[in-house]
């Protein structure tokens, strides 16, 4: 029914096709590379629901009733609230650009911007890694005496020790690091092109120093791509997917469930909070603009609930043992 509501005005939309710049492209250009990939896919699916594609959809002809019908249709697909809200955020972004480009008036934009998101929550995705698991990952790197072993140890050290996203790890240059002999600092360019300074101490700093001794002092990407046999291609930057593949391989070598760079990031947040660091500081270290985002990364609550469950005793004996 909701899809029919969306498509009911298709003829009207086609007639009202706006001329000039495509507001969807204007919106996407302003995003980071990672955000652009995600929202390009998201808007492509929205366009398909509207009967077109990213280029042919008359975005400037969308109205409040179309967006509310879209929200209903997405909800009927059984998507998680956060996913539905991501779709709506993408549409709002496009319509904001349509307004800036003079393709719609302020009232039309405000009505669309007022479409409420979907409420509700789901269990947080991913997991945090325990100290034993991080240690196991590091041991697999230590047992690999090729250049890839040193590189991967530094990637894990920075992923956990500084809570970096995989795109941030991939985007690092040697020039972004500074070592005063005591602590290493790194300038990180995060989401929205916002810069922050992170600090690497003790084992994380030493892992990076060991990698730099192998890498050498050539300018350019901090982490080089690899090839078979653990050899690296000097000067060739790793992609974010390659960073993810490193974690998957090392987890497999260590006999662990799949580990991702974001699992290291979740562990970074949870362990800092467990150590008593205030949440505002942790949010700043992680590059979170909103403290609520930091709260979603916190896995301490699940550990506490598991411990609490063990405090209860249910008087039940396994079948066959009662007699």
**Residues with Cβ < 8 Å from 131, sequence gap 6 or more?**
none
Q: How far apart are CA 286 and CA 163, in angstroms?
A: 6
Q: What DSSP character marks residue 77?
A: T
For residue 280, the tally of other CB atoms under 10 A from its CB is 11
* Sequence-ordered list of residues with C-beta below 8 angstroms from that of 146, at least 6 positions apart, any chain: 229, 230, 231
Q: Extract the tokens encoding 310.
A: 């063990």
Are the CB atoms for 209 and 153 separated by under 8 Å? Answer: no
CB 234 within 8 A of CB 220: no
Nearest-angstrom CA–CA distance, 303 and 270: 11
Beta strands in the chain (DSSP E): 177-179, 184-189, 195-200, 224-226, 232-237
DSSP 102: T
What are the residue numbers of the active site? Answer: 165, 191, 262, 265, 288, 297
Strands 177-179 and 232-237: unpaired
Judged on CB neighbours under 10 Å (0-12, 13-18, 19+), 156 is: buried
Distance separating alpha carbons of residues 233 and 219, to the nearest angstrom: 14
For the chain, first and last CA: distance in Å? Answer: 60
Phi, psi of 184, rounded to the nearest 5 degrees? -105, 135
Asked if 208 and 164 touch (Cβ cutoff 8 Å), the reply is: no
Cα-to-chain-centroid distance, residue 101: 30
């Amino acid at each position: 029914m909701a899809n029919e509501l969306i498509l009911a005005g298709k003829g009207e939309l086609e007639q009202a096709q706006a001329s000039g710049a495509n507001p969807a492209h204007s919106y996407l250009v302003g995003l980071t590379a990672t955000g652009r990939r995600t929202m390009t896919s998201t808007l492509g699916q929205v366009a398909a629901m509207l009967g077109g594609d990213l280029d042919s959809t008359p975005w400037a002809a969308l109205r409040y009733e179309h967006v509310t019908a879209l929200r209903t249709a997405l909800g009927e697909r059984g998507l998680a609230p956060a996913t539905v809200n991501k779709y709506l955020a993408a549409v709002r972004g496009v319509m904001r650009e349509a307004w800036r480009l003079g393709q719609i008036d302020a009232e039309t934009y405000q009505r669309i911007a007022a479409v409420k998101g979907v409420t509700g929550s789901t269990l947080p995705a991913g997991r945090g890694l325990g100290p034993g698991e991080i240690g196991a990952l590091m041991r697999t790197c230590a047992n690999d005496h090729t250049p890839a072993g040193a590189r991967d140890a530094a990637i894990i050290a920075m992923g956990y020790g500084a809570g970096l996203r995989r795109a941030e790890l991939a985007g690092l240059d040697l020039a972004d690091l500074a070592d005063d002999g005591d602590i290493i600092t790194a300038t990180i360019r995060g989401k929205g092109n916002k810069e922050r300074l992170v600090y690497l101490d003790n084992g994380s700093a030493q892992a990076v120093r060991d990698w730099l001794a192998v890498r050498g002092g050539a300018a350019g990407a901090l982490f080089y791509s690899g090839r078979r046999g653990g050899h690296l291609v000097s000067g060739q930057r790793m992609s974010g997917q390659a960073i993810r593949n490193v974690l998957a391989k090392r987890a497999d070598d260590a006999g662990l469930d799949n580990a991702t760079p974001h699992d290291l990031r979740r562990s970074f947040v949870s362990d800092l909070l467990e150590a008593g660091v205030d949440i505002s500081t942790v949010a700043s270290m992680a590059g979170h603009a909103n403290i609520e985002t930091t709260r979603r990364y916190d896995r301490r609550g699940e550990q506490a609930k598991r411990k609490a469950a063990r405090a209860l005793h249910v008087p039940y004996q396994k079948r066959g043992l009662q007699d």
